[in-house]
Amino acid sequence: MNITGLDGFLKTFFKSLKSATEGLGLDRMFLTGVTPILLNDITSGDNIKTDIHILPHYADLCGFSDKEIKHLIQIFADSLETRSDLLSPVFPDGKKAWMDDIYRLMVNSYDGYMFSPYIEKRVYNPTLVMYLFKQLEQLDGQLPKTLLDHNLLADEGRIEYIANLPGGTELIMELNQNKTIEIKEIASRFGFKNMIEKTAKTQVFMGSYLYYMGMLTLGETVPSGWQQLKIPNPVTQSLYIDSIAQWIIKDSETRDFGFHEALAFTREGKIAPLRNFIEKQVFPAFDWRDKRWVNELTIKTIFMCLLNDNANYLMISERQTRTGYADLAMIVRPDRRSFNFKDILIEFKYIKTKNLSVKNLKKQSDKSLFELKAVQNKLKKARSQAKKYAKELKDEFGDVIQLTTYAVIGIGFERLLYKKLV
């Protein structure tokens, strides 16, 4: 069925439902999963519906609260404890340790959605939560290899759709670097015409589209009165990262080589080959248009494109802590510790080349660059921040993690310095 035909069908269908409420046996209707595209195109056929999704009483209707998650984990652990058909011990370190591991994994991967601006109530993604519980049941309490339900991989297509619109790539990059955007308002409805015509693709449209498709959620109230939207959690951010990796490293063989160098870093602590790859293969690929985004967040984005690994890590990026925002923490998943992956914390800093009176940066040694006052100042700040964030991560995850911390300092798009701090 073509778009025009579907448009007419929907209007006729919902007009019939409206008629059925007028004494023909249909008293009430409750619709879920309704997109603004559908709302717009059924208006002429059915104008008696009320959108309730932003009302405070329904803010947690389509998600799990933190209290519910803890309760579900307890029930699931109790059920595993009574099973006699399990092929291996479910709780090698005790039942409570298993429950704590599952909770930390969920709160760091699936939490973060908000649907009402009138109440601060966060919920967990129900699709991902139920996916994980189903996998745990089928795997006798063991974690699956991926924390991402493959049904959500279609969301990458939605990112590509936005990226191909005028200003779309810039919006995706801004989202990934800052984790938020601000738009004038969330569009309550838009029709097929808006989806087709590029002239209708405003930032309001793009932000609203990603919001309704589950790729963004409500953020904080901002003084301008505009609506802040944010990436809800690391699992959703990984979809953005996977798309961006293909933009900045277009050749698949080169990209695979970068992943190999990233694995050498996470398994063996060898960061030099990864640094060299970024300097020689990634930096030159950025053209002048990209460089307007360049700052420490850009450097972090490049690293995340290569290091993104939900199969082995909890990826914690720019999460607010008691003392600020940790740049990038990679905490080994509890089921992957036997494979000798490293717990990693990286603080990223950036120095503009115009702020340095140094010629031929590419020919300078790391040692000579580290002697520059600007570099020493950045290193000092990174060391101080890393020490604070490392302590908070230890408090959260316990003595099981053995953090190795690094400072990574970008000098323009010419040099990349690194220093192992602990």
Q: Is residue 212 part of a domain?
A: yes
Q: How much is the average pLDDT of 400-415?
A: 93
> What CA–CA distance (Å, rounded) separates 98 from 82?
15
Residues 112 and 196 in one domain: no
pLDDT digit string, tens, across residues 267-278:
999 999 999 999
- Say whether both 162 and 122 belong to one domain: no
Cβ proximity of 301 and 177 under 8 Å: yes
What is the arrangement of strands in the sheet containing 324-332, beginning at the earlier edge strand? 313-321, 324-332, 343-351, 403-411, 415-420
Residues 123 and 224 in one domain: no
In a domain, 99, yes or no: yes
Paired strand residues for 313: 332
- Report pTM: 0.84
- The whole-number pLDDT of residue 199 equals 55
In this prediction, residues 200-225 reach a mean pLDDT of: 87
Q: Is residue 220 part of a domain?
A: yes
For 238, counting Cβ atoms within 10 Å of its Cβ (0-12 exposed, 13-18 middle, 19+ buried), the class is buried
| Domain co-membership, 313 together with 396 | yes
Give me the amino acid identity at 14.
F
DSSP code at position 131: H
Q: State residue 320's pLDDT score.
A: 57
Q: What is the reported pLDDT for 362?
A: 86
Predicted pLDDT of residue 52: 79
Q: Is the pLDDT of residue 1 over 50?
A: no
251-260 long-range CB contacts below 8 Å, 24 or more apart? 254/281, 257/281, 258/282, 258/306, 259/306
> What are 117-167's pLDDT values in tens digits?
888 889 999 999 999 999 998 998 899 998 988 776 666 788 888 988 888
Q: Write down the pLDDT at residue 16.
A: 78
Do 178 and 306 lie in one domain? The reply is no
Residue 393, token pair as written in the block? 């991560």
More confident residue, 39 or 342: 342
User: Rounded distance, CA 109 to CA 229, Å?
Assistant: 18
Which helix or strand (DSSP H or E) is residue 81 part of? helix 66-81
Q: What is the pLDDT of residue 253?
A: 96
123 is a domain residue = yes
> Which of residues 114, 146, 178 is at a domain's end?
146
Q: What was the pLDDT predicted at 167? A: 86
Residue 262 domain flag:
no
* Residue 386 and residue 349 share a domain: yes
| Cα–Cα distance measured from residue 69 to residue 223, given in angstroms and rounded to the nearest whole number | 33
Give the span between the Cα atoms of 146 and 411, in whole angstroms: 35
On whether both 304 and 398 belong to a single domain, the answer is yes
Distance in angstroms (rounded) separating the CA atoms of residues 226 and 255: 38
Percentage of residues of the chain with pLDDT beyond 70? 85
Question: Do 83 and 167 sit in the same domain of this protein?
Answer: no
Q: One-letter amino acid identity for 247?
A: W
344 part of a folded domain: yes
Do both 284 and 406 map to the same domain?
Answer: yes
Q: Is residue 250 part of a domain?
A: no
Q: Which residues of 331-344 are buried (b: 16+ CB within 10 A; e: fewer)?
A: bbbbeeeeeebbbb
Strand order in the sheet with 227-230: 180-183, 227-230, 217-221
Q: pLDDT value at position 214?
A: 87
Residues 206 and 339 in one domain: no
Say if 57 falls within a structural domain: no
Residue 164 is part of which domain span? 152-230
pLDDT of 41 reads: 55
Q: What is the pLDDT of residue 113?
A: 94
- State pLDDT tens for residues 177-202: 878 899 998 887 666 566 666 555 78
The last residue of a domain, from among 111, 146, 181: 146
Share the mean pLDDT of the chain.
85
Q: Are residues 330 and 408 in the same domain?
A: yes
Q: Which of 173, 202, 230 is the last residue of a domain?
A: 230
Q: Are residues 368 and 340 in the same domain?
A: yes
Q: Is the pLDDT of residue 361 over 60?
A: yes
State the Cα–Cα distance between residues 93 and 335, nearest whole angstrom.
12
pLDDT of 373 over the 50 cut:
yes
Q: What's the confidence (pLDDT) of residue 371?
A: 93
Q: How many domains does the chain have?
A: 4
